Amino acid sequence: MGLAIAHQLARRGTAVLVLSRRRSEAAGFVAAGMLAPHAEGLQGSLLELGQQSLQRIPAWVAQIEADGGSSCGLRPCGIVVPFPTIAERDRYPTAAWGQPLDRAALEREAPGIGPRWQAGLLFEQDGQIDNRRRLMRALERACVALGVAFQEGSEVLELQQNGRGALAGVRLRTAEGDERQLPARRAVLTGGAWSARLLPQLPVFPVKGQMLSLQGPRQALRRVIFGPGTYLVPRHDGLLVVGATSEPEAGFADGLTPFGQRQLQDGIAALLPQASQWPPMERWWGFRPCTPDQAPLLGPSPIEGLWLATGHHRNGVLLAAITAELLGVALDPEGGSVEQDLPAGIRSCLLEAFRWDRFMAPSVSPPGASPQSARQSGTVNAAPVQPPG
């Protein structure tokens, strides 16, 4: 989020400084990179936000690649969501946006898929991006090319306010261990799972996820397979990214666990048995920034001058494009015109839907209609939102 917003602001002519404690902590380096508002079974305003972002991603990627000269690894490969029965398939919240598959069609789209799965949905509009190896580096290079400044190893210790309660600056500790004050009247908090440490009012908490990768044959799997609790994301070179556990009870506990790794192996065996024989390449973990309704916090914060872009949970990579646009326009409305800027009315509605204080008003419906991704919770919600037309 920090890089995406910095890039967008720089394109609009704003000077930007990025403060980062440790870049390897960023969820963008550990996620699988799925672009899956439909495969995830999102609903309500969160589905709309995801769809708006998905539409913008090709142009957003083109900007990054043009500015920085590096590929982002975008692949509009489509995503297959398998189900044990046709009835479960047809009850899926986003079924109306997908192509229904029977067992024979499922085998054509995902050769070797496990015998448990008798039906499926193909979301051809969903896809993936190689965030770990390409997107994050490409964003960094694009930011540098546009003059964005970086202070790596600088930990923000405190948000400072003036007598009116507006943002006045930050107190930080540098990589050399020195503490100093940095004046600032405008800033964006993109601290991910750690955001509430700087602003305790924010209902953001970590949900740990463990992942691994396998090296399969090139083109062994063309589509992403998004199963309940496990997903398989094939890269262009045959690398298969496998995720992810969901461990809210782990807090910020580092490290892999035997239970988590076994859970991933069981998921591989159920979804694509042949992949159980592919050699493992890497294992890692990270922390998703979660909120009570698993939807992001966007827009103004309790502190005047401080803006929020955090709490994206499972969909940070997907929502980066729309988040960067919403925050970029809000922070610099007079900046350079961007062709794809949403109309002001839609921007206002989206920012209103994802206010940080929405949980304080019980009468206001949350932006996501379910407390989890329908697929990852293993549940199926009520009738699907109807697609346009």
Residue 94 phi, psi (nearest 5) = -110, 20
What pLDDT is recorded for position 153?
Answer: 96
For residue 370, is pLDDT > 70? no
Is the residue at 279 inside a domain? Answer: no
CATH of residue 135: 3.50.50.60
Is the residue at 370 inside a domain? Answer: yes
Count of domains in the chain?
1
For residue 3, is pLDDT > 70? yes
What pLDDT is recorded for position 44?
Answer: 97
Q: pLDDT tens, 286-306? A: 999 999 999 999 999 999 999
- Find the angle CA(22)-CA(26)-CA(27) to the nearest 5 degrees: 160
Which structural domain range is residue 195 located in? Answer: 1-76+131-204+291-378
Q: Which residues of 143-168 are buried (b: 16+ CB within 10 A; e: fewer)?
A: bebbebebeeebebeebeeeeeeebb
Is the residue at 278 inside a domain? Answer: no
What pLDDT is recorded for position 360?
Answer: 86
Q: Which of 112-126, 143-157, 289-303, 370-384 has the lowest mean pLDDT?
A: 370-384
Q: Is the pTM of this model over 0.85?
A: yes
What pLDDT is recorded for position 335?
Answer: 73
Is the residue at 145 inside a domain? Answer: yes
Is the residue at 229 inside a domain? Answer: no
Is the residue at 153 inside a domain? Answer: yes
Query: What is the residue-averaged pLDDT of the chain?
Result: 92
Strands 167-173 and 179-183, by their bridges, are: antiparallel
**What does the H/E/C string look like for 52-91?**
HHHHHHHHHHHHHHHHHCCCCCEECCCEEEEECCHHHHHC
Is the residue at 63 inside a domain? Answer: yes
Q: pLDDT tens, 178-197? A: 999 999 999 999 999 999 99
Is the residue at 32 inside a domain? Answer: yes
What percent of the chain has pLDDT above 90? 88
**Residue-by-residue DSSP string for 282-335:** EEEEEEEEE-TTS--EEEE-SSBTEEEEE--GGGHHHHHHHHHHHHHHHH-TTS
Q: Which of 114-118, 275-279, 344-348 has the lowest mean pLDDT?
A: 344-348
> Across the strands, what pairs with 119?
83, 102
